[in-house]
Amino acid sequence: MEFPVTRLRRLRRTEAMRSLVREVHLHPGALIYPLFICPGEGVRREVKSMPGVYNLSIDEAIKEVEEAAQLGLGGLLLFGLPAVKDEEASGAYAEDGIVQQALRAFKPAAKKLLLIADVCLCEYTSHGHCGVVSKTGEDYEVENDASLSLLARTAVSLAAAGADIVGPSDMMDGRVGAIRDHLDDAGLEQVPILSYAAKFSSAFYGPFREAADSAPQFGDRRTYQMDGANLREAMREIDQDIAEGADMILMKPAMPYLDVIRAARERLDVPIGAYQVSGEYAMLQAAFAKGWLDRDRSILESLISIRRAGADFTITYFAKDAARLLG
């Protein structure tokens, strides 16, 4: 049927009408809020490039856990800033590591929330790389296979401390399989793996590296994170992680890579998460501060676009704001 019989504007005339025919929806239960946990007491230190995001000591972070639960968020993604860093990232798998302590402390307040522990070495290594480094300087090498046992050990330690889900974000080959093996051996066969399958080497992680104090001291992450030009390779990464036992996959960044999310959605039946990363947050916040974009509408529009691309859930620093807007 053509105009004038068909008039697409008929279904846009009122909010009730628009709401009736809306194709995708946002709900707080599908939003995950990241937290950066640091040592100390009473610490609430704002990240300069991420207004509204803080390094929090455990006692301060508990307040966020309670608020997140009250807002009906799906869960929290935990990152740690250890007191000391070393070559072996020992803080990542220490019994009393910062995230391990946080998990135990948060558990009572987090009954309705999923506690997701990011599994990576970069916050814990003195050099800031996501794996073990064999040679330093110009010809440094991030060793794949030597990193796997440390990553698996980290995942087991975090799951034993109470993580409901572990999320490896290091991009070493074979880490999902190694983590699954070690979790199963430790009797943690019920803990799911959310694998950052398609993680692109992105400038949009810049503010995170300030938040997590995890910028590499030399070189960059291009030998393990993916080239931003490669969609087909992203599909191979995903297939590989699923074959190794990933229960869910994560795509990241989100907004500059919506086509990758869509392609993954069309290909797969596993749940897909997307991470609206620090730089996406920083850039929107900067525009809000200048009065150049409408805050509330931009937050919701950015999140609905990620959802429409095919993500089942989204990790976002706007999770609390969005839940309030939806509430």
- Write out the residues near ligand PBG by the rule CB under 6 A: 118, 120, 122, 130, 169, 205, 208-209, 221, 277-278
Q: Smallest Cα–Cα separation from 299: which of 250, 255, 249?
A: 255
CB closer to ligand PBG out of 65 and 78? 78
Active site residue 199: yes
Smallest separation, CB 221 to ligand PBG (Å): 6
Q: What angle do CA 265, 116, 160 make, to 5 degrees?
A: 130
Q: Which long-range contacts (CB under 8 A, 24 or more apart) does 146-151 make?
A: 147/121, 147/172, 147/175, 148/172, 148/174, 148/175, 148/178, 149/178, 150/88, 150/89, 150/92, 150/93, 150/121, 151/119, 151/120, 151/121, 151/175, 151/178, 151/179
Distances from the Cα of 280 to the Cαs of 103, 137, 196, in angstroms?
Answer: 27, 31, 17
Smallest separation, CB 310 to ligand PBG (Å): 20
CB closer to ligand PBG out of 103 and 120? 120
**Beta strand 44-47 with 50-56: parallel, antiparallel or unpaired?**
antiparallel
CB closer to ligand PBG out of 59 and 86? 86
Smallest separation, CB 271 to ligand PBG (Å): 19
Region of 6 please: left (phi>0), alpha (psi -120 to 50) or beta.
beta
Smallest separation, CB 222 to ligand PBG (Å): 11
Smallest separation, CB 23 to ligand PBG (Å): 28
Catalytic residue among 63, 85, 111, 252: 252
CB closer to ligand PBG out of 21 and 153? 153
Report d(CA 147, CA 152) in Å as an integer: 9
CB closer to ligand PBG out of 70 and 149? 149
CB closer to ligand PBG out of 58 and 226? 226
Active site residue 320: no
Burial level of 101, CB count in 10 A (0-12/13-18/19+)? middle
DSSP state, residue 88: T
Smallest separation, CB 278 to ligand PBG (Å): 3
Select the residue whose beta carbon is closest to ligand PBG and give its number.
208
Catalytic residue among 111, 112, 199, 290: 199
CB within 8 Å of 63: residues ≥ 6 apart: none
Q: Which amino acid is residue 164, in one-letter code?
A: D
Q: Smallest Cα–Cα separation from 117: which of 84, 153, 69?
A: 153
Report d(CA 179, CA 194) in Å as an integer: 11
Q: Catalogue the active-site residues.
A: 199, 252
